[in-house]
Structure 1
Amino acid sequence: MNAVIIDQTKVRIDPEVKVKRGRTFPRPLAWWHRYVPIWLDASEDDQGRLVLTPNGRVADGHVQELTPALIRRDVRQALAWLDSRIYFDFSDAVVRDDQLW
């Protein structure tokens, strides 16, 4: 797995949070570009799902070459980052490898 794929229609927002109109999911790609960390690129696939891929950027502005091991590490960190979102539940939204086919 070299990317995290998210079906935005399955993202849940904490029911205790009052959500303004138009702030539900799916969110536009421009929102994701502002929301994801610097070391991830956000794009959409042909089915409209969000794809988060590691890009090798680090906070000091350098770009490192991504090896398969670094890609796997960054994908694991992306999943951990999604899991740490307090008011968003991505548990059902992340598409796993066995769900792709």
Structure 2
Amino acid sequence: MHRIVIDQTKVRIDEQLIRRGATPFPRPLEWWQRTLPIWVTASEGIDGTVILEPNGKVANGRQRKLTPTVLRQEMKAIRSYLASRTHLDFSDALIEA
């Protein structure tokens, strides 16, 4: 389990954002790449899903070795990051692969 797959059609947006004109999901890959932290790589699946994978990048420019322990930590961090998006609900959209 080294990646998280998101079915964008199941992402729910808070009503406050919708009233302010937030764009609905699905969103383009460029949006995901701009929004995610440096240590996460976003790519697009052939079925339109978004695939999030840890890449080992560190903010100071170094590359971290992705050992099994680090991968588990990074996957947990990605899930925490998504859960911290207060106006977006990914609970039904996450598919771990």
Whether TM-score is above 0.5 comes out as yes
Alignment match, 2:76: 76
Per-residue CA distance 1:74-99 (angstroms, 9 max, x = gap): 011000000000100000010145xx
The 1-side partners of 2:36 and 2:58 are apart by: 13
Relative to the length of structure 2, the TM-score reads 0.92
Q: Report the RMSD for the aligned CA atoms in angstroms.
A: 1.3
Per-residue CA distance 1:28-67 (angstroms, 9 max, x = gap): 0011110000000000112211000000001111111111
| Aligned residue identity for 1:35 | T
Larger mean CA deviation between 10-19 and 81-90 belongs to 10-19
Alignment match, 1:86: 86
1:51 equivalenced with 2:51 (yes/no): yes
The 2-side partners of 1:44 and 1:19 are apart by: 27
Alignment match, 1:20: 21
Relative to the length of structure 1, the TM-score reads 0.89
Unaligned segments of structure 1, at least 5 residues: none
Structure 1 position 19, deviation (Å): 4.4
The 2-side partners of 1:40 and 1:16 are apart by: 27
**Which residues of 2 match residues 5-16 of structure 1 at below 5 A?**
5-16=5-16
The 2-side partners of 1:95 and 1:3 are apart by: 9
Alignment match, 2:39: 39
The 2-side partners of 1:45 and 1:72 are apart by: 22
